[in-house]
Structures are given as structure tokens and as C-alpha cells.
Amino acid sequence: MTLREANSWTQIREELLRRIHDRTWKPGDLIPGEAELAEEFGCARTTVNRALRDLAETGLVTRRRKAGTRIAVNPPHKATLTIPIVREEVEARGATYRHAVLERDMRKLPPHLGGAFHLPDGADVLFMRSMHYADDQPFIYEERYTNIAAVPEMAETDFKDISANEWLVQTAPYTGGDMVFFAANADETLSAHFGAPVGTALFVVERTTWNGDEPITHVRMTYAPGYRMRTSL
């Protein structure tokens, strides 16, 4: 493909990316203007604009009115996280998965979650405690609060054959979320569930999801001692 044939915005974006990555254009460089690039590629100026806007959204270039477009000096490095299905994670390790619901009831939202869950005063949420196992060994201890108004079908689901984790991933679409990762020491409850001494360091993930302005669920997942999280960049 010659430059003159690269006349779709996606093709132009790929060529501009190549020039950024091979340092034809270095960080901080002012690149040619839209009119000059449109002439080079033999396309409309609006096509070049679309390609540059896409690069600006990724943070690879910065655009200023009347100042042109520059290659970002410190472009962002982003990692994309998805909500993992625990069953799939266990099975990927070659282990057999099962889960058990330890407790389930409707209750008031705890005060400490009020900032994450903007619900009417006095609204009830579904609380669940569950245990996930790998080859019958404790893998994750889960505590979950769910806004039934957002997913009313959940009230009628018994979760004998599917975990709340997997059911929500499959059933409840979400537009945003928040995740926190931290270490915590095992208290007496976690010590009993994992068969580990009180005070053992454990890896914890807290996650909240919402759909538009409506909160869906808040879950705290505590992993067995020695767990390591791995992701890709």
C-alpha cells in the first residue's frame, strides 16, 4: 500500500502510529498540519482530523487550537481490567471448581458503603457471603451487597448451580466500575475459612459496578494465602 492509497482514517491512523513508534516523530515533535497530511495521503482533511482525534483520545498526541499537534512527551500507559469469572480462573489452573452460599438475606446498606451506593434512605440490598473452592480447597471468600432494584431477577435466583459472580457478569450490564486492591490480615472469620493463622497476610479486591447512575453491586473478595494476581499490559 502506498501513502496515496492510505485514504481511510483507520489506515492513516496506522501510518501515523508507525511513525510515532519507530521515532520518525519523537516525543515533543510538532507534526505536519491536517492540510499537509491530507495532501500527502490524498484524502479529505476531515479524514486526517478523524485519525488525529483518535490518537489524541489515546493520549499519544496532544492537540492545541492554533498550536498544532505534538507527539506526547509522557503518553499514558493503560492496562485494561475485566471482571473475572472465578470458575474460569479456577478451571484455567486445572482444578475443579465449586462454590457454596454461606449466608443470604435482605438488609440495610452498611453506612461505609453509602458513598458507593446512592440509594434511597432505608432501601434494602441483598447481602450474600459465599466461598469459592479449587479442588475443594478454599480459594476466595466473598462478601457481596447487590441493589435488587437494578437486578430484580437476582431475588429469585437460588445460586445453587451458578455463583453470583458469574450470574452478574452474564446478566447485569454495567457502564462503569471501581476497583481497589490491598492486603489485609486474616481475622478470626477468615482464619477459620482458610485454615490459616490469625494475622496471615491476604490479598483483597473490592469492586463496585454501576449502570448509568444506578449502583449494581459491591463485592469484597479475599483470596487464599499465597495468591498472586497476574494481568497483561
Q: What is the CATH number of the domain that holds 139?
A: 3.40.1410.10
Picking from 47, 71, 95, the residue at the C-terminal end of a domain is 71
Whole-number Å distance between alpha carbons of 131 and 100: 5
Per-residue pLDDT of the chain (233 residues; tens, 9 = 90+): 444 445 688 889 999 999 998 889 999 999 999 999 999 999 999 999 999 998 998 889 999 888 899 999 887 766 666 788 999 999 999 999 999 999 999 999 888 888 778 887 778 899 999 999 999 999 999 999 999 999 999 999 999 999 999 999 999 988 888 999 999 999 999 999 999 999 999 999 999 999 888 999 999 999 999 998 877 66
Question: Rg for the chain (alpha carbons), in Å?
Answer: 25
Q: How do beta strands 124-134 and 137-146 pair?
A: antiparallel
Model-wide pTM > 0.85: no
In a domain, 230, yes or no: no
- How buried is residue 54: exposed, middle or buried, by Cβ count under 10 Å (0-12/13-18/19+)? middle
Q: Three cell numbers at 115?
A: 458513598
Q: How far apart are the first and last CA of the chain?
A: 30
CA dist 199 and 195 (Å) reads: 12
Tell whether 229 is covered by a domain: no
**CA 195 to each of CA 89, 110, 139, 219, 224: distance values in angstroms, whole numbers, following the listed order:** 22, 28, 11, 22, 9
The Cα 165–Cα 163 span in angstroms is 5
Answer whether residue 95 is part of any domain.
yes
Which residues form the domain of 22?
Answer: 3-71
Give the cell for residue 143: 462478601
Q: For the chain, what is the domain count?
A: 2
As a whole number of angstroms, the distance between CA 162 and CA 157 comes to 9
